[in-house]
């Protein structure tokens, strides 16, 4: 699987339908992760924590996004 880029993109698009506040940054990062690290081997807690930290930061809308929404 997850080397199947289109499949991953479709999955993420599907999941975003019910989570419209998920940012593009999260989507892009998750797409890369699913095609790469997340599918290769079970990750350590430390590694997962660092990924989680990045995703939490990605969830903060960029100022341009905020402006666009406003």
Q: For binding to other proteins (CB under 8 A), which residues are involved?
A: 1-3, 7, 11-12, 14-16, 18-19, 21-22, 26, 30, 34, 37-43, 45, 48-49, 51-53, 55-56, 59-60
> In sequence order, which residues have a C-beta less than 8 Å from that of residue 60 and are 6 or more positions away?
23
The percent of the chain in helix, strand and coil, each rounded to the nearest 5, is: 70, 0, 30
Instruction: Measure the CA–CA gap between 11 and 26, rounded to whole angstroms.
Output: 14
Residue placing its CB nearer to other proteins in the complex, 28 or 52: 52
Residue placing its CB nearer to other proteins in the complex, 25 or 64: 25
Question: Least distance to other proteins from the beta carbon of 16, Å?
Answer: 7
């Amino acid at each position: 699987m997850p080397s199947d880029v289109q499949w991953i993109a479709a999955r993420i698009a599907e999941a975003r339908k019910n989570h419209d506040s998920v940012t593009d940054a999260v989507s892009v990062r998750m797409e890369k992760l699913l095609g790469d690290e997340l599918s290769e081997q079970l990750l350590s807690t430390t590694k997962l924590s660092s990924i989680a930290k990045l995703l939490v930061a990605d969830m903060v809308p960029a100022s341009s996004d905020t402006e666009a929404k406003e």
